[in-house]
Each structure stands twice: as structure tokens, then as C-alpha cells.
């Protein structure tokens, strides 16, 4: 998206921010998810929580009520969830660093976008 916006800035006029679309005026802030990725993340978290809650009530809780101890296999989904969260956090941090580096190295041509309200659909860093 940054590359496309930088190319659009070469050919479009500041008036095109209103006449065509305002997205090329400024880059999205670091870490801002595109809507369809935000939906996918919400779905993944929802499914993971559903699986973990179901597992807790059908496997873990009965073990704690009877035996007090289970096998390592009984807790495997929870271990995987912890590692998954760690992997996701590391990947998010890496992607954020790459995006910041890209913006620093290729900020694109400056466009006067004063008077444009970018809103929640295209969140920007407020300077």
C-alpha cells in the first residue's frame, strides 16, 4: 500500500485527495490493520478462545476435580496457545519494524492534505 501511495503521489494532484480518494495523502500509522485482516484476527482469536474454553471445561476442569494432575497431553492446547501468542507478538514486532524502516527510507513525495479527515478507515500518525 505504501508503494502504491508513493507512486500515486507522483501522478496525482493535491486536489485529487478530494476528487478521487484521500488515502494516498498520508501513509497509515504503524500497526494499523487493514479491515479484512482485522476481521481475520478477530475470527482467529474468537475460535481459539472457543476451543480453549471448551477444552478447559471438558478436559482440564474434570481432571482437577478428580485426579488433581493430568498428563502433559491434557495441557498441550494451552502450551500451544502460549507459544502461539509469543510467536504472534514477535511477528507483529518484526512487521512493525519493517514498516517503520520502509517509511523512513521511502516516505514519498510530500502532499498537502490539510483539511482532510482521515478517520478510522485510514488511521494516521498525528504529528
Q: Confirm whether 23 is domain-assigned.
A: no
Q: Confirm whether 83 is domain-assigned.
A: yes
pLDDT score for 69:
76
Residues 6+ apart with CB under 8 A from 3: 106
Q: Tell me the pLDDT tens digit for each residue of 45-60.
A: 999 999 999 999 999 8
Q: Confirm whether 93 is domain-assigned.
A: yes
Q: What total of structural domains would you count in the chain?
A: 1
Q: Confirm whether 22 is domain-assigned.
A: no
Q: Confirm whether 25 is domain-assigned.
A: no
pLDDT score for 127:
58
Neighbour count for residue 28 (Cβ, 10 Å): 20
Instruction: Give CA–CA dist 54/6, Å, rounded.
Output: 47
What average pLDDT does this structure show over 12-17? 88
Q: Confirm whether 73 is domain-assigned.
A: yes
Domain housing 67: 34-105
CA-CA distances (angstroms) from residue 25 to 45, 57, 122, 125? 33, 51, 10, 12
Q: Confirm whether 99 is domain-assigned.
A: yes
Q: Tell me the pLDDT tens digit for each residue of 62-102.
A: 888 887 777 888 889 999 999 999 999 999 999 999 999 99
Cell readout for 81 is 496457545
pLDDT cut 90: percent of the chain above it: 37
Sequence length of the chain is 127
Task: Tell whether the model's pLDDT for residue 117 goes beyond 80.
Answer: yes
Amino acid at each position: 500500500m505504501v508503494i502504491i501511495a508513493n507512486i500515486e503521489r507522483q501522478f496525482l494532484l493535491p486536489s485529487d485527495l478530494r476528487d478521487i480518494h484521500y488515502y494516498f495523502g498520508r501513509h497509515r500509522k504503524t500497526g494499523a490493520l487493514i479491515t479484512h485482516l482485522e476481521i481475520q484476527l478477530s475470527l482467529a482469536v474468537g475460535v481459539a478462545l472457543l476451543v480453549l474454553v471448551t477444552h478447559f471445561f471438558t478436559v482440564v476442569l474434570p481432571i482437577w476435580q478428580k485426579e488433581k494432575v493430568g498428563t502433559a497431553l491434557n495441557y498441550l492446547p494451552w502450551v500451544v496457545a502460549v507459544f502461539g501468542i509469543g510467536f504472534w507478538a514477535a511477528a507483529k514486532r518484526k512487521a512493525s519494524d519493517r514498516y517503520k524502516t520502509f517509511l523512513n527510507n521511502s516516505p514519498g513525495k510530500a502532499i498537502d492534505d490539510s483539511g482532510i479527515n482521515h478517520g478510522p478507515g485510514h488511521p494516521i500518525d498525528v504529528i
